[in-house]
Amino acid sequence: MKKMQKKIYMAAGYNTISMGTGRKEFNPKKERPGLEYYITEAGRGTLAQINGAVNVDESVIGNFMASRFNNQGHLAGFIPMIDEGLKFKPSIRVEAACASGGMALITGIKNVLAGADTVLTIGVEVQNTMKAIYGADVLAGAGWYKKRKEGHAYFFPDQFGKRAGAYFDKYGKDYTRKGLSRWYANAIENARLCPTAQEYHNTNPDPESTCFKMEPNGKSFVDYLNVLDCSKVSDAASAIAILSETGLIKCGIDRKDAVEVVGFATSERNITLEPSDLTVMETIKDAAHKALANAGVSIHDLATIETHDCFTIAGILSVEALGFAKPGEGADFVFKGNTARNGLIPINTTGGLIGWGHPTGGTGVHQAVTIWEQLTGRTGEAQIEISEKKPYGLSINMGGDDVSVVTIVYKKEL
Amino acid sequence: MTYDERMQKVSVLGAAGKMGSGILLLTAVEMCNLSLKPENRGKSFVLYAIDISEEGLNGLMKYLKVQIRRIAEKKMVWLREVYAHRADLIENGQIIEEYIFDVMNLVRPITAIEAAFNSNLIFEAIAENQDFKVKIFKKIDQNNQGKPWIFTNTSSIPISVLNKEAGLDGRILGFHFYNPPAVQHLVELITIKENTRQMKEFAIAYAKSLKKVVVPSNDFAGFIGNGHFMRDALHCIAEAENLMKEFSFAESIYIINKISQDYLVRPMGIFQLIDYVGIDVVRFILAVMNPYNPSENLHSPLLDSLFDLNVKGGQNSDGSQKDGLLKYEKGKPVAVFDLQKRDYISISEFSAKCDEYLGALPEKWQPWKSVNFSKNKEELLKAYFAAIKGMDTVGAQLAKVCHNRSAQIGKQLVNSGVANSDEDVNTVLLTGFYHAYGPINNYLQ
């Protein structure tokens, strides 16, 4: 994609609560809502804002591993369950590990480019069906299966832990951990402002020092990250409508209540190879700069970013990949508050994956909903100031260890 | 014989019981872990789970499966290393299933005592009956050519008596787990002068491998744990009986249970603890201890009366609490047995009256759960007992009496040579009874 061939918009976003440990109402011993509940709540949340299913031409659902978490494949079949009006309409399920939600958005955008006016796009994952130790096996499916045997019990925390370890070696452990801990604190402080966030009920008065003091312990977890450096196990769904100009009119949506998609990119790295440099997220770098180039904007035009901080180190490395900080300076950039909600570039303003939650296949759509909320002034207590000089938002959704990356640039309608 | 060699052939007597099943679980896991060491591959490790109850053994195997899974889930990092050589085991889930199989595969559930005739090490957790234990030990020792070591879980019978009566030549020691063995960190180790150094070292190595806190106790009936618990219980029973002049039986039990739980900041009240252990078991322990303590009367007619009425407490096979002095719903006391009415009376009928009699708890009070897991436990306890010290409500007075009696019992255990130090007494109460503080303290001084 070089330039958008026609105007594409997103509107009518909806997030369910991100359910899991941290939420007061979460009880792992009691039966909880399943996939159907989350898909329906999110889907209906969006339909209610676009005057019903009659206006939907097609649907896309992004999901990573319902086949193992929920013993359920064939998720496209759940779309007509949301509303009778979706019966016999096209529906497709897409998968790209934790970038499944982002890939659903891209599929929706392409559908609109191909002629559809309104695409209902949903991302969902319900992961609290098993203990984390078994969930780690499922999530390891985002890596290369042939590496699973030699991998760690907690496969992905270890993968990203190795990135953190490499960063420690290059730039210093305490220096890095200060940045990681500030990233964690930003996530918690932002999540406390968002009622659907998994960490909304977190009352720790000093999350930064809690994270810093918690030394990584390889005997019980992984060598270079502690549990607070990791996103949580989440059940949630998000939905948003992707629309053409005609779609906006059909759905009765004012342009001011929508964001324009002004650029996007997807980028793929060979899953069978190790990253060439553990301290660089090369696919994120590639995809982010392609999307920004397509949109014709620079990082300095961005009002906010939703980035894929499945682990705190991924947040630091994203900041460097984007070019806000030079290699090795990302930790300091974050530590100094530049990515906080009142900083130079507010990132993950409702908590991101660590604070809001990480329903793996749903995360990409949640990111789009958050950017849409911020750019249209719908974020409630978590709202940041969006100046007319910087009317853009960027989302970065990653699958696996920097393998599949989806980036989208959004513009506030002025 | 090395540690690993001795652990190749083990038996647990009373394996389906409350204590035996926990001991069996811990021992099976320990033996499996040894068998998984590269140098032990191919060697046979066998653990006989001996019990008279077929039904109990069926339940045991189900219990083992659930518990081994829990244990495996917590040590996944290590298990992946252990099974690294097995190319067929890739996911955590596969490795956990294999580990469960490997542990259960060395357990042989059996009702025949003859299974112990070939064991190097025998854990005993049968009924607290001296004659029965002696009879079983004799039978095994006479038929086992390997001169086995016997680790008895007795909580009250002097080891030297069992040694002499069964003619074991010092091949027995007390290895007293606390209930439930898989959870409680404490082991009281009671050695006798006839024990060899190797036997004592083995016992300590085994306990260390199980990550247990070992407190040595000298060989006096009841040892430290029951030495404190039985006397504490008898004192509380006496306090309740004193109250019965003014209050009904149920009300008196309720009041002292509340004093011993809330006012003394303990995980459960004394009568709930008696129910937890079982009224029948408490009577039995008292009966064992009493002859060895001629200056005291370690006996309770009140417990006899309850026992005669078949009010026994104890636990169901699933670990849930049976009704005893108190009646339970979801593990919480909801009614008290009334000896006169011979029926349970709902606590809600009389609690307000009793609570008013005791007076309000001090503002500084927090329940055991909040205190015990607080980082500021020591400060909380100091502040709480300072408040109690300055109060003259009936509740505070009773709390002071019960607290001081508990401390006195602790001191008595040290002075009479049962425990080697104040610290040992406190460790037993802290780790074996989950108290928030040891009985020997300065809180009220």
Clarify whether residues A179 and A68 are in a common domain: no
B278-293: average pLDDT: 94
Clarify whether residues A102 and A188 are in a common domain: no
Clarify whether residues A204 and A305 are in a common domain: yes
Contact B87 A137 (CB under 8 A): no
Distance CA(A139)–CA(A297), nearest Å, equals 35
Contacts of B92 in chain A (CB under 8 A): 133-134, 136-137, 153
Q: What is the predicted pLDDT for the residue at A5?
A: 87
Classify the phi-psi angles of A151: left when phi > 0, otherwise alpha if psi is within -120 to 50, otherwise beta.
beta
In a domain, A1, yes or no: no
Clarify whether residues A145 and A182 are in a common domain: yes
Clarify whether residues B148 and B45 are in a common domain: yes
Query: Among B73, B77, B78, B96, which would you mutate to test the A interface (most chain A Cβ atoms within 10 Å of its Cβ)?
Result: B77
Q: What is the predicted pLDDT for the residue at A261?
A: 98
In a domain, B99, yes or no: yes
Place of tokens 């009773």: B398
Clarify whether residues B203 and B96 are in a common domain: yes
Clarify whether residues A152 and A108 are in a common domain: no
Q: What is the predicted pLDDT for the residue at B320?
A: 83
Q: Would you give the end-to-end CA distance of chain B in angstroms?
A: 52
B122-135: average pLDDT: 95
Domain edge (last residue) among B216, B237, B256: B216
B82-90: average pLDDT: 96
Task: Please answer whether residues B79 and B95 qualify as being in contact, where contact means their C-beta atoms are separated by less than 8 angstroms.
Answer: yes
Clarify whether residues B266 and B140 are in a common domain: no
Clarify whether residues A248 and A263 are in a common domain: no
Clarify whether residues A190 and A159 are in a common domain: yes
Query: Among B69, B74, B91, which would you mutate to test the A interface (most chain A Cβ atoms within 10 Å of its Cβ)?
Result: B91
In a domain, A285, yes or no: yes
Contact A133 B76 (CB under 8 A): yes
Q: Which domain holds residue A92?
A: 8-131+233-257
Domain edge (last residue) among B216, B240, B257: B216
The sign of the torsion formed by the CA atoms of A97, A102, A106, A108 equals positive
Q: What is the predicted pLDDT for the residue at A383?
A: 98
Clarify whether residues B229 and B212 are in a common domain: no
In a domain, A318, yes or no: yes
Distance CA(A219)–CA(A153), nearest Å, equals 11
CA distances A10 to A85, A375, A404, B67, B294, Å, are: 21, 11, 22, 51, 87
Clarify whether residues B62 and B145 are in a common domain: yes
**Residue B95: is its pLDDT beyond 70?**
yes
In a domain, B110, yes or no: yes
Clarify whether residues B308 and B409 are in a common domain: yes
Distance CA(B7)–CA(B32), nearest Å, equals 10
- At what angle are helices A132-139 and B92-104 packed, to 10 degrees? 130
Q: What is the predicted pLDDT for the residue at B319?
A: 73
User: Domain total for chain B?
Assistant: 2
Q: What is the predicted pLDDT for the residue at B364?
A: 86
User: Domain total for chain A?
Assistant: 2
Clarify whether residues B151 and B21 are in a common domain: yes
Q: Which domain holds residue B207?
A: 3-216
CA distances A167 to A12, A278, B28, Å, are: 40, 8, 43
Note the pLDDT tens digit of each residue in B297-351: 999 999 999 999 999 999 876 778 999 999 999 889 999 999 888 999 999 999 9
Clarify whether residues A384 and A248 are in a common domain: no
Clarify whether residues B337 and B424 are in a common domain: yes
* Cα angle: B401, vertex B402, B407; to 5 degrees: 100
Contacts of A154 in chain B (CB under 8 A): 76-77
Residues 6+ apart with CB under 8 A from B8: B31, B43, B44, B45, B46, B120
Q: What is the predicted pLDDT for the residue at A2?
A: 62
Interface residues of chain A, partner chain B, Cβ below 8 Å: 131, 133-134, 136-137, 140, 148-149, 152-154, 218-221
Instruction: Point out which residues pair with B11 in neighbouring strands.
Output: B48, B122
CB contact residues (below 8 A), chain B span 90-149, against chain A:
90-93, 96
Clarify whether residues A114 and A164 are in a common domain: no
Clarify whether residues A216 and A240 are in a common domain: no
CATH code of residue B324: 1.10.1040.10
Pull the structure tokens for residue B368: 């055991």
Q: Where are the beta strands (DSSP E) in B103-185?
A: 107-110, 121-124, 149-152, 172-177
Compute the mean pLDDT over every residue in chain B, rounded to the nearest whole number. Answer: 95
Residues 6+ apart with CB under 8 A from B187: B175, B176, B177, B178, B207, B210, B212, B213, B214, B215
Clarify whether residues B177 and B141 are in a common domain: yes
CATH code of residue A16: 3.40.47.10
Clarify whether residues A110 and A144 are in a common domain: no
In a domain, B327, yes or no: yes
Q: What is the predicted pLDDT for the residue at B138?
A: 97
Could you report the predicted ipTM of this complex, rounded to two decimals? Answer: 0.92
Closest Cα partner for A358 from A405, A409, A398?
A: A398
Domain edge (last residue) among B175, B199, B216: B216
Spans in chain A with pLDDT lower than 50: none
B391-420: average pLDDT: 96
User: Starting at the edge strand that comes first in sequence, how are the strands of the sheet with A91-94 ordered?
Assistant: A91-94, A58-62, A118-126, A235-243, A8-15, A258-268, A404-412, A392-399, A302-306
Clarify whether residues A19 and A45 are in a common domain: yes
In a domain, A2, yes or no: no
